[in-house]
Amino acid sequence: MEDKPAKKMFIQIVKQLHDLIEEQNIQEGQKLPSERMLSEQLQVGRSSVREALRSLELLGLIETRHGGGTYLSSMQHHQFVEIVSSFILQDEKSIADVHATRQMLEKEAIRIICQSDNLRALPIWESFFVKVELGQELKREDILRECMIVSGNRLALKIWLQLLSFSNNLSANEITEEEKMELKILLASLQMGYIQEAIDSYEKWMIIIKE
């Protein structure tokens, strides 16, 4: 059985779970179909099902109990499943909205860091700066992930991690010289607490990546 792209598997599984919750009136704490059943229903590999379920568990939508299967976490999470399947995963405009939402979270994290003396003084920013300066291997998402982690909002981090899975442009291609310049300005502005300068450099960086 041939797997489809991982993103499409995630979309299909989210929609399938949404349908099951609606049709079978699954309540908080009740068990969801097994990996094998989902694999058969969706005609995809069990590994794809497993990865999608892990993503949903990270969001808090489901709970996996060792040796006992997968369960719906709460009715609030049930509503969030509907939001995800109905709005995030439908068309190109929705995918653009996903990118925009991810960037809003990233800019807010940058603002939080700039406003905190302790967060600005963390050695990770200087480490990133040196890597950019020396042209060492560095993934775009590494810098953004660190910003999200350091900002201290665990829920925002969980949502961001899911939105990141729809952002191939962050991992595609090597970092360009133009990007390096904006990254250095961003990191320097962040360390000095210059919020607007940091946000401006971040936005220019995103434009360069998009191009």
Q: Residue 48 has what pLDDT?
A: 76
Predicted confidence (pLDDT) at residue 83 exceeds the cutoff of 80: no
Read off the pLDDT band of 2 (50, 70, 90).
very low
DSSP secondary structure letters along the chain: -PPPPHHHHHHHHHHHHHHHHHHHTPPTTPBPPPHHHHHHHHT--HHHHHHHHHHHHHTTSEEEETTTEEEE--HHHHHHHHHIIIIITSSHHHHHHHHHHHHHHHHHHHHHHHT-HHHHT-HHHHHHHHHHHHT----HHHHHHHHHHHHT-HHHHHHHHHHHTT-GGGTSSPPPHHHHHHHHHHHHHHHHT-HHHHHHHHHHHHHHHH-
pLDDT at 78 over 60: no
Give the tens place of pLDDT for each residue, 92-108.
Answer: 666 788 888 999 999 99
pLDDT tens for each residue of 125-184: 999 999 999 988 888 889 999 999 999 998 898 888 878 876 666 766 678 889 999 999
Instruction: Please tell me the pTM assigned to this model.
Output: 0.61
Domains of the chain, with CATH numbers? 6-86 (1.10.10.10), 91-210 (1.20.120.530)
At 186-200, the pLDDT tens digits run 999 999 999 999 999
Average pLDDT of the residues of the chain: 80
Q: Is 6 a residue whose pLDDT tops 60?
A: no
pLDDT of residue 91: 58
pLDDT value of position 4: 47
